[in-house]
Amino acid sequence: MKTSDFYYELPQELIAQTPLEKRDHSRLMLLDRATGETEDRMFYELPDFLKAGDCLVLNDSRVIPARLFGKRETGGAVEVLLLNDKGGGKWECLTRPGRKTNPGVRISFGDGRLNAVVLDKLPGGNKLIQFEYEGIFLEILEALGKMPLPPYITEELKDSERYQTVYSKNLGSAAAPTAGLHFTPELLDKLRAKGVEVCFLTLHVGLGTFRPVKEEELENHEMHAEYCVIDKDTAEKINRAKREGRRVIACGTTSCRTLEAVSDEAGLLREFSDWINIFIYPGYKFKCIDGLITNFHLPESTLIMLVSAFAGREHVMAAYKRAVEERYRFFSFGDAMLIS
């Protein structure tokens, strides 16, 4: 299968630049994965389409203010985007301008309480950077860093909490798990009241999620790695649902990737904390999930390939064509789809 099989035409004006005033007032397209039939609803109606006993799995990762602006010793400006925490104050980073940040270059940020030195150039062009500071790194980031919005969002975000889910807890993502942005505390309460079991895992989203697939043959694409955690309680809840024949509904491709990477052939999980780099595309046999809540994704991205693996490429591309015709909002701040 080729990357070009997942291309579609998207008018620029359908890329949502700002979040809606009310999170759960996004549109919700229902997609029947067996028939390809679609229906237009609203996200706040989600409790009508989930069943008592369904197990809804949410990603509670929280976006860090990972975008830093600093200066080299020569005075030249540098932008640094934190991607992956390598431990000991070392981070894999994206830098601009990249040619001005070779190994050995020193960078200072803000009032000088955060400094850094470039240690190495990594495969693919990212840099390994050692940060130097006194105190708590995340507190310094809160003071100096900015929210790392995706490159297709050009308008400034007035409230940074709108790029966080209402249940975000564990800091570490360079991008939001955007399918969860539609939930409100009240909507979660309605789901629980209906008998939907809600549980959480953590996958720290990397910016690799936005990178286009450059290989024409899908099998040649190298998937980016992301760190995930499934605790004992969540594993037990999902395993109980699987054994009792109840549906497991993943919210977002991040939750889906985590569940499918960690589960065994029977779809059962164990307590887990490690890096995963699973690449899901048509032909993949799903083991754990029975339903998926997801946003509308970039053409030729690994995310639209994952959705196509779950619902069938023809069904997904037809649904996307209809979403364009019906003027749905696309990407991070856009509308959602429930596939079951």
Q: What is the amino acid identity at position 157?
A: L
Per-residue tokens: 77:
């400006």
- The vertex-139 CA angle with 138 and 144, nearest 5°, equals 95
Residue ranges in the chain whose pLDDT is less than 50: none
Task: Could you list the beta-strand ranges (E) of the chain.
Answer: 27-31, 38-42, 55-59, 61-63, 67-72, 77-87, 90-96, 106-109, 114-121, 127-133, 170-173, 197-203, 226-230, 248-251, 272-276, 291-295, 336-339
> Running DSSP on this structure, what letter comes out for residue 211?
S
Give Rg (Cα) of the chain.
20
What is the rounded CA–CA span in Å between residue 161 and residue 55? 26
Q: Are 301 and 213 in contact (CB under 8 A)?
A: yes
Reading the block at residue 137, the tokens are 């790194």
What pLDDT does residue 111 have?
81
- Rounded to the nearest 10 degrees, the angle between the axes of helix 252-262 and helix 302-311 is 70
Q: What angle do CA 146, 152, 75 make, to 5 degrees?
A: 45
CA-CA-CA-CA torsion sign (261, 266, 269, 270): negative
Phi/psi at 48 (nearest 5 deg)? -70, -20
> Can the peptide bond before residue 97 be classed as cis, meaning omega within 30 degrees of 0?
yes
Query: Maximum distance among all alpha carbons in the chain?
Result: 64
Q: Three-state DSSP class for 149? A: coil
Are 288 and 235 in contact by the 8 Å Cβ rule? The answer is no
Phi–psi pair at 278, nearest 5 degrees: -65, 135
Give residue 136's Cα distance to chain centre.
26
What does DSSP say about strands 38-42 and 170-173: parallel, antiparallel, or unpaired? unpaired
239 phi and psi, to 5 degrees?
A: -60, -40
Distance CA 326, CA 14 (A): 10
Determine the Cα–Cα distance for residues 205 and 228; give it in Å rounded to an integer.
Answer: 9
> Residue 268: CB partners within 8 Å, gap ≥ 6?
238, 239, 242, 243
Considering the domain 3-63+159-339 in this protein, what is its CATH number?
3.40.1780.10
Residue 324's identity, in one-letter code, is: V
Q: Which two tokens stand for residue 54?
A: 């369904």
CA 283/CA 281 separation, integer angstroms: 6
Equal CATH topology for 3-63+159-339 and 67-144: no
What is the C-alpha separation between 259 and 253, in angstroms, rounded? Answer: 10
Q: Smallest Cα–Cα separation from 235: which of 198, 270, 197? A: 270
User: Nearest 5°: phi and psi at 302?
Assistant: -65, -25
Strand ranges for 234-290 from DSSP E: 248-251, 272-276
Domain spans of the chain, in order of start: 3-63+159-339, 67-144
pLDDT at position 210: 67
Which CATH number is 67-144 given? 2.40.10.240
Cα→Cα distances 336→43, 46, 77, 293, Å? 7, 11, 38, 7
